[in-house]
Amino acid sequence: MWRYALPLLVVIALGVLLFQGIGRDPSTLPSPLIDHPVPAFELGTLADPSVRVSQQDLLGEPYLLNVFASWCATCHLEHPVLKAFAEEGVARLIGLNWKDQPDDAKRWLVRAGDPYALILADESGAVGIDLGVYGTPETFLIDANGVIRFKHVGELTDAVIEREIRPRLLAWSDGAAP
Amino acid sequence: MRALLAMLLLALSLGAHAGLEPLNFDSPEQARRYQELLRELRCTVCQNESLAESKAELAKDMRLRIHQMMLEGQTDAQIKEFLVSRYGDFVLYAPPFQPNTWVLWLGPGVVLLIGLGAMLMVLRKRARALPADAGGIED
């Protein structure tokens, strides 16, 4: 009996283990920053580098922090989704212009439309490293206390907003402690 | 001949530092530490390359940050801890031994033990079966 059952069990166990890997994107890394405060930063805005903004200035209300660059093709793809999100006005949309030439970024936003309430310019990419950014686009959902609650790597879609972002924002606005 | 040799040596010396920026260190010891540390860290965009060999833009930024932290006097452990706190255990080429990596570290050993056990069982069974067999080895 065991002679046949044991190999079968081993094969089933292995199958379950390997099946979990199917459909997972190995290039998507889980962020260790989830449920941790946004790392301290101070950056100039894209519009005016002399206007300095730190993570302290963004406290008080939740916001979506979208890491983008004018050279990033996937960022162009997700742009309409960001615009719709901003028009809806459920939360602030803040941009982090990552490793980009400010002039390129500005030119692109004039052409494509600028949905951001505020854009921080991280030309050197230093704040990106602090945030664990390894590719654009990346989008962080940050609560009113400045704690990162969710991160999406890659193109932001309506499905991600409906599944991950909107439920959290609704729960917070209902008065549940974020 | 001498020119050829010089060119060859030049080519070799360039190869040794391919993909790396020229950086200044406080001591040769520190430069060696830097090189060793880079080999233990993974580039997060080009996942099968270490920071020592990757030509990706992000890898370069990470190297510069590591270099800066080293000049500030931070230890290898502190630098690794910083990168793990930002990018996760994935940046380490050798994953730490912790509950979610037990299968990874112990799995091969367990499989080997199961195999040895199975082999022993089969051999014992055969040894028991043989004496009863009249023919024995010639069988």
Pairing relationship of beta strands A118-122 and A92-98 according to DSSP bridges: parallel
- Closest residue in A to B58 (Cα–Cα): A134
Whole-model pTM: value is: 0.77
**Pairwise CB contact (< 8 Å): A129 & B65:** yes
Spell out the residues 6+ positions from residue A30 whose beta carbon is closer than 8 angstroms to its own. Answer: B88
Q: Is A175:A144 a contact under the CB 8 Å cutoff?
A: no
At A167 the pLDDT is: 93
Low-confidence residues in chain A, pLDDT < 50: none
At B16 the pLDDT is: 44
Pinpoint the alpha helices (H) of chain A: 2-19, 73-88, 102-112, 126-130, 158-160, 166-173
**Pairwise CB contact (< 8 Å): B87 & A134:** yes
Q: Is the peptide bond before A137 cis (omega within 30 degrees of 0)?
A: yes
Question: Residue B113's beta-bridge partner residues?
Answer: none
Q: Is B84:B37 a contact under the CB 8 Å cutoff?
A: no
Which residues of chain B have a CB within 8 Å of the CB of A123?
Answer: none
First to last CA, chain A: 55
Q: Is A27:B85 a contact under the CB 8 Å cutoff?
A: no
Q: Is A144:A60 a contact under the CB 8 Å cutoff?
A: yes
- State the 10-residue block means of pLDDT for chain B, 139 residues long: 68 51 87 92 84 88 93 93 90 83 88 93 88 55
Q: Of chain B residues 54-113, which have a CB less than 8 A from chain A? A: 57-58, 61-62, 65, 84-88, 90, 103
Query: Dihedral through CA A20, CA A25, CA A28, CA A32, nearest 10?
Result: 0
CB pairs under 8 A between A and B: 42
**Pairwise CB contact (< 8 Å): B65 & A126:** yes
- Closest residue in B to A30 (Cα–Cα): B88
Spell out the residues 6+ positions from residue B15 whose beta carbon is closer than 8 angstroms to its own. Answer: none
Q: Is A50:A42 a contact under the CB 8 Å cutoff?
A: no
Long-range CB contacts for residues B100-105, cutoff 8 Å, separation at least 24: B103/A17
d(CA B132, CA A99): 79
Q: Of chain A residues 152-171, which have a CB less than 8 A from chain B? A: none
**Secondary structure class of A69 (helix, strand, coil):** coil
